[in-house]
Amino acid sequence: MKIPENLMYAKTDEWVKVEGNVATIGVSDYAQQQLSDIVFVEVNASAGDEVKKDAVFGTLESVKAAADVILPISGKVIEVNEDLSNTPEVVNSDPYGAAWLIKLEMSSPAELSGLLDAKAYTKFCEERSH
């Protein structure tokens, strides 16, 4: 299971990559492994929307289950990854790269302090595996 050092993680299994004031958000390798083969991706937001931390902003559906994707931080939507609706399997093959879900201009960067670093998230995943 990959948990890149340069990202931050939410306990609901989303990752956040911070570049300046822009946050890119996706779901972790752990999340995609738990869900197994993803067959449907839906993101309920569009560029320009003001979105709030903890809101459900999308759904991932696999052969096993459907899971909500929750915003780990608040901000204004810059871009949504439209390609995933045609290629949902990318969430399985490249969760930290091509399968990013949404890019935000952060409105309260202080919220980042509530997220886990790679080390803490690794421990959190291990605890849940058993």
Residues that bind another protein (CB under 8 A): 37, 39-40, 61, 63-65, 88-89, 128-130
Least Cβ distance, residue 90 to another protein (angstroms): 13
| Residue number with CB closer to another protein (24 or 81) | 81
Q: Which is nearer to another protein, 21 or 85 (by Cβ)?
A: 85
Q: How far is the CB of 128 from another protein (least distance, A)?
A: 8
Minimum CB–partner distance for residue 120 and another protein (Å): 21
Strand, helix or coil for residue 82? helix
Report the chain's C-alpha Rg in angstroms: 14
